[in-house]
């Protein structure tokens, strides 16, 4: 899930107005954010490949999967509430997230050959399509748009939280959430769409931060938000493809 970015009404353009006029040498820039994002993803992919190879070498990657997930969740929340420490926490977050993603992807790949490549290609296809739509202003990021996406994202988070509680204490899950029927597939499509729209909020957040010259550490924070969204989108696409494959 995305934490504390432009989907949050508190993080609109007014968030950056106090930095207006800051020197680009001292403040956040688009180029700097792109560079930090590339670094974070290199770390994530390297960690993912490590646990991926472990899985297919016959080693137990469950500790890496759940350990990476738990560690990334804790570190992600800390980063969201204390953006100033993002330069230190984001590389570690990327490492932990990569361990989780690699182990999870290998598990899906073992059951559905080729599904990982399909999910990766679809994720970056969606990323590029929405980046183009944002840059050409086909999608306009209004306050109502931000509030709508934020509310939808919060709704998904609540559903997943309820599902975790039901699983832990009652051995149940939210109806249809994991079903491979058309209702379950429809739910996955909606969640994929919500995850994808969060990318637009990330683009807007990064653009505004660069425009107003937010502090340099916000480059890492922007990279963090983009990474969280892309990983979430990738996992939701992976789950959707698995549901579709299960119907064959």
Kindly provide the residue ranges of all beta strands, DSSP E only, lying in 89-177, ordered along the sequence: none
Q: Residue ranges of the domains in the chain?
A: 23-246
Average pLDDT per block of 10 residues along the chain, 248 residues long: 42 49 69 96 98 97 96 95 96 98 97 96 97 94 94 95 91 89 94 96 93 91 96 97 88
Q: Residue 223 in contact with residue 40, Cβ under 8 Å?
A: yes
Helix/strand/coil for 11: coil
pTM of the full structure: 0.89
Give the pLDDT confidence score for residue 125 in this predicted structure: 97
pLDDT at 1: 43
φ/ψ (deg, to 5) at 27: -110, 180
Measured distance CA(91)–CA(198) in Å, rounded = 22
pLDDT, residue 19, reads: 53
């Amino acid at each position: 899930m995305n934490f504390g970015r432009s989907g949050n009404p508190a993080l609109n353009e007014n968030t950056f107005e106090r930095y207006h006029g800051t020197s680009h040498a001292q403040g956040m820039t688009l180029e700097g954010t792109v560079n930090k994002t590339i670094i974070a993803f290199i770390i994530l992919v390297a960690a993912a490949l490590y646990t991926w190879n472990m899985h297919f070498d016959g080693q137990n990657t469950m500790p890496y999967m759940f350990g990476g997930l738990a560690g990334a969740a804790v570190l992600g929340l800390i980063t969201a509430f204390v953006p100033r420490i993002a330069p230190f926490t984001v590389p570690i977050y990327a490492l932990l997230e990569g361990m989780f993603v690699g182990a999870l992807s290998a598990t899906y790949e073992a059951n559905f050959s080729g599904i990982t490549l399909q999910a990766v290609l679809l994720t970056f296809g969606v990323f590029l399509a929405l980046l183009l739509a944002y840059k050409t202003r086909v999608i306009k990021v209004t306050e109502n748009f931000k509030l709508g996406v934020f509310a939808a994202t919060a709704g998904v988070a609540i559903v997943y939280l309820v599902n975790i509680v039901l699983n832990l204490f009652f051995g149940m899950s939210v109806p249809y959430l994991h079903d491979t029927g058309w209702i379950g597939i429809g739910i996955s499509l909606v969640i994929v769409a919500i995850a994808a729209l969060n990318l637009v909020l990330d683009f807007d957040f990064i653009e505004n931060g660069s425009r107003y010259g937010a502090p340099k550490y916000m480059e890492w924070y922007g990279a963090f938000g983009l990474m969280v969204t892309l990983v979430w989108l990738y996992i939701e696409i992976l789950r959707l493809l698995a549901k579709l494959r299960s119907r064959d």
